[in-house]
Amino acid sequence: MLNNGQAVVHDQPEASSSAGAKSLKRRRNKDQLVEFRPLSKAQEMNRRLEEAVERDRYKPKKNLSLSMHPWHKVDGAVNHRLLYRWLTSLLMYCISHPGVLLTVIYSRFNLMAPVHLYYLLEILQEYGCIKLFVMDVRPKRTLFSTYRPVKTEPATEFDREEHTYIEPCPSALSTLSMFIGDHRKFQENFLAPPKNVQAEGEDEEDEEEAGELNSQDSDKE
């Protein structure tokens, strides 16, 4: 303001400066609280993952060759339950349809690739449950051709599917049952909890029963 040609400067109130200092202190306190705030589970997992990636970056790596099958787990372990179920269903179908062709097997069990089905059939053949044969196909006969019996040979993976058939062995089921064995884990339900979980649940039930009995005894006294 001008007062008789002179500029007069008014001093600012001290309240504003004190308020600014208080706001700065609050901001600093908030920043400190944010720094010491615990991380969430997702943030903690991301932090650990980044540390593991950084730690394993310069380690020598190994390339593993793994042939995946439907009865193999992601880590490469064999799912014995699934493998035995597939072997049993294949063997039961071959027993109920003796002399069945490979093409019929492939169309019947179309949920699995033919190469995997043939691998299962080879397993059954190695254990003496079935036998694979191939028919010796000859040119078409006429009225003047001489009779010759059809020749069969043990089949290989290079033979044609429409000429290969399966013959079950007399003791196929008993052989497969000896191969699978009498495992307790296969007799239980597929969705049954593990034994350690069951034991923990039984221990908790026993503790609850003991606590109830103690409370009843104390009430009687």
pLDDT value at residue 195: 58
pLDDT value at residue 73: 82
Give mean pLDDT in consecutive 10-residue pieces for the chain, a chain of 221 residues.
Answer: 48 51 56 59 84 78 76 82 90 94 93 92 93 85 79 87 92 88 57 54 62 62 57
Count of beta carbons in the 10 Å neighbourhood of residue 133: 15
pTM for this entry:
0.55
Q: Which residues of 180-213 are buried (b: 16+ CB within 10 A; e: fewer)?
A: eeeeeeeeeeeeeeeeeeeeeeeeeeeeeeeeee
CATH class of this structure's domain 80-139+148-180:
mainly alpha
Residue that has been written with the tokens 């706001």 in this structure: 23
pLDDT value at residue 142: 80
3-state secondary structure of 159: coil
Task: Delimit the domains of the chain by residue range.
Answer: 80-139+148-180
pLDDT value at residue 62: 74
